[in-house]
A and B are shown apart, each in its own frame.
Chain A
Amino acid sequence: MLMQRIIPCLDVDRGRVVKGVRFQGLRDAGDPVERARRYQAEGADELCLLDVSATHEGRASALDTVARVREVLGIPLTVGGGVRTLSDARALLEHGADKVAVNSAALARPDLLREIADTLGAQCCVIAVDAARRLAAPPGTPPPALACAPVEDTFEVITHGGRARSGVCAVEWAARATALGAGEVLLTSFDRDGTGAGYDLALLRAVRAATRAPIIASGGAGGRAEAARHGVEAFAAGADALLAATLFHDGHMTPLTLKSELARAGYAMRLGAPRTPSLAPEPTP
């Protein structure tokens, strides 16, 4: 039976792990290689590395970070941030990524997904969708002519770290992106990112209904007390994997502790390799 996955996420800027709330206020959270090594030992099923550098030098150092993480990491590595072309994707794979997450560039030119999937394989092409609930119209504005769902349950794709709203429906975009070749959806709720308030379940349900590709839920994982409950809710809403950063960075919880709690809630989780028969001598009576 396919197991649910727990994926720690490292936001990396100029070779260091950083973390903020709602994509802002970044602070230093350590060395990516040490983090990667530790998370694998602590039961992570995969690792996600997002390059949040705003500068060209930062981008160049991201390739070096990917290569250094690859040296120590024996689980899958997804890398995103600033992937604009097929050659960007290829460079990340050559430096050790197993999957590349494509975000705004695909929104601007959807064929990029098809190019990556056809050339490098659908298994390495992840569509990263940053979604925000549509803002309510100012009071007194007439409702849009084609509004068919309440404003609070419709989602739009946001870009540029949350500074721009595209107006594109996040659910339709996820469906289109997977039809073009993306093998997985990394679905981040902008409204919940870093808040610890739980994953956006309405968003997850809507995207689950729109695509057959695996969905990684991101944005909103709570602290130690709520993380497992939030995970159970997200799996029930259709998530195949959970991504979290703050929860693990601050040492509130290890991936294995979270997975043990989710396993107790009835989900199939990887809790460690069954040991092969021990070569130790039988204890003498």
Chain B
Amino acid sequence: MSVAIVTTGLANVASVRAALRRLGVEPRLTDDPREVREARAVVLPGVGALGPAMRRLTERSTSGDTLAAALSARIADERPTLAICLGLQLLCASSDEAPGISGLCTFSAHVARLDAAPQLPHFGWNEVAPDAEMTFVPAGAAYFAHSYAALAAPAPNSKGAKGAKGAKGAKDAATAVAWTSHGARFVSAFERGAVLACQFHPELSGDYGAELLERWLARSLPDRPRTLTEAATC
């Protein structure tokens, strides 16, 4: 299996699935931790509320594994993983949206409500400005739909990846960050290795988003066929 979309039963995956199909990838939908560990690339889409989503990720499967552990292991190893919107927030340590509920803690950031913003939710197109040259995220306008965001640059959290193979070396890798402003400056994307987290929705960001997804897929599946038709004839 090449690309897996993690379904929590709460998130709408039709848009991200359609976007991947347009780029020649037929993703598989799964809530099986084993498949999340084994897939070459994984998308953690994010729509919905943080509390219920986190509960679903920490539920044990029949094998005793959890989606949370499978995702944390991938991220610690910097394997191709794309977290979108709430997906980005789930990688963080905590959120104002669900006080007392711990996130996956793979990154040390806290997620706060964008209370200084004139309008909430933050709906629409806004500028994404990378700190420095990023592998996947260019400067441009992307589509956002959220009320919460990380306000400080996230750092890999070795504690959160406890027990996961490869966690030790994680701190050596740089985490590149892109910023956006809505009332306050917040983290609109960050990347480390083949791990990419976007507060915006690349699948809804027109050509900008398609180009970003293409870059991430090119890195994650360098040998993939370019189109679905090509895949079908192979």
Give me the interface of A with B, judged by CB distance under 8 Å.
1-5, 40, 45, 67, 70-77, 93-98, 118-124, 183-184, 212-214, 240-241, 270, 273-274, 276
Contacts and interface: CB of A to CB of B under 8 A. Distances in A.
B145 A240 contact: no
Contacts of B118: 212
Contact of A71 (B18, B139, B208): B18
B77 interface: no
Interface in B123-165: 123-127, 138-141, 143, 145-147
Given A76-B143, A273-B140, A2 B121 contact: no
B12 A93 contact: yes
Contacts, number: 115
A270 B125 CA distance: 7
Contact of B124 (A67, A73, A98, A240): A240
A74 B206 contact: yes
Interface of B: 10, 12, 14-15, 18-19, 21-22, 47-49, 86, 118-127, 138-141, 143, 145-147, 181-182, 201, 203-211
Contacts of A70: 14-15, 18
A173 to B, nearest CB: 19
B210 A2 contact: no
Given A2-B122, A3-B125, A74-B204, A270 B141 contact: yes
Q: Which 3 residue pairs across A and B have the least CB separation, nearest first?
A: A96-B14, A123-B145, A93-B12
A74 B205 contact: yes
B14 A122 contact: no
Contacts of A75: 143, 204-206
A1 B14 contact: no
A214 B121 contact: yes
A107 B203 CA distance: 32
Contacts of B86: 121
Most buried by B among A1, A70, A96, A270: A270
Given A1-B181, A98-B15, A240-B119, A123 B146 contact: yes
Given A45-B124, A71-B21, A123-B145, A94 B138 contact: no
Contacts of A213: 119-121
Given A2-B119, A75-B143, A76-B143, A45 B12 contact: no
B49 A118 contact: yes
Nearest to A272: B207
B123 A183 contact: yes
Contacts of A45: 124-125, 143
7 contacts: A73-B18, A75-B205, A119-B48, A123-B145, A183-B145, A273-B206, A273-B207
Given A93-B12, A214-B123, A274-B139, 17 more contacts: A2-B124, A3-B126, A5-B125, A70-B15, A73-B18, A74-B22, A75-B206, A76-B143, A76-B145, A97-B12, A118-B49, A119-B10, A122-B121, A122-B147, A123-B147, A240-B119, A273-B211
Nearest to B123: A214
